[in-house]
Chain A
Amino acid sequence: ETGVTQTPRHLVMGMTNKKSLKCEQHLGHNAMYWYKQSAKKPLELMFVYSLEERVENNSVPSRFSPECPNSSHLFLHLHTLQPEDSALYLCASSQVMGGNSPLHFGNGTRLTVT
């Protein structure tokens, strides 16, 4: 059990669908992150929230829309995705965003866009 729970574990969606990924952390952390993991590539940071405020958007296309209703929950809303968006989407949290505290990851959502 990682303390960070992501649902669903797998998702297959067409390019015209709208879906949402959910993340919940049970660690009492103040910062939450969305990462994209593609084969043989380093983790790519997408969004960062600190105390429910978005503090970073790493030039992510608008077809990805994050939402952080409280410090324990993070969503990634998806619409009109492209096949190249197929990847493992990882949620992470850390005690604080500033300073050096390690990220704790969930097990990810494996997304396939058809």
Chain B
Amino acid sequence: GESVGLHLPTLSVQEGDNSIINCAYSNSASDYFIWYKQESGKGPQFIIDIRSNMDKRQGQRVTVLLNKTVKHLSLQIAATQPGDSAVYFCAESPLTGGGNKLTFGTGTQLKVEL
């Protein structure tokens, strides 16, 4: 079946640096993509989403980039802070959409070093 995966299980960055977390997907019919942040002891928290008709979307200190040609999604966090330490994972769903069609990745652990 189709799968969503992340390149690196753990990413360590210095406080103040920019972080880039990557996600590869294999379903060419994927149309909607979401990034979630999960802190220890908490549920996943929605960060940002993007539709396949866009290649970039910006939020507060975060930017999501979508490269449909190579089926690659990335989350960029500017000026990484200790509070950004968490597991980040992407999810995708096809054009037909629906919350029941979301496929989640396994996650990347982001560690912010002081």
Contacts and interface: CB of A to CB of B under 8 A. Distances in A.
Contacts of A92: 43, 99
Contacts of B100: 33, 45, 48, 55-56, 97
B41 A103 contact: no
A4 B44 CA distance: 11
A33 B42 CA distance: 17
Nearest to B103: A42
A42 B49 contact: no
B49 A102 contact: yes
Interface residues of B, number: 25
Q: How large is the interface on A (under 10, 10 to 19, 20 to 34, 35 or more residues)?
A: 20 to 34
Given A41-B106, A42-B104, A42-B105, A98 B97 contact: yes
A107 B42 contact: yes
Given A42-B103, A100-B93, 18 more contacts: A4-B43, A6-B43, A33-B100, A42-B104, A43-B104, A56-B100, A90-B44, A92-B43, A94-B99, A99-B97, A100-B32, A103-B34, A103-B46, A103-B102, A104-B46, A105-B36, A105-B45, A106-B43
5 contacts: A45-B102, A48-B99, A101-B99, A102-B34, A103-B99
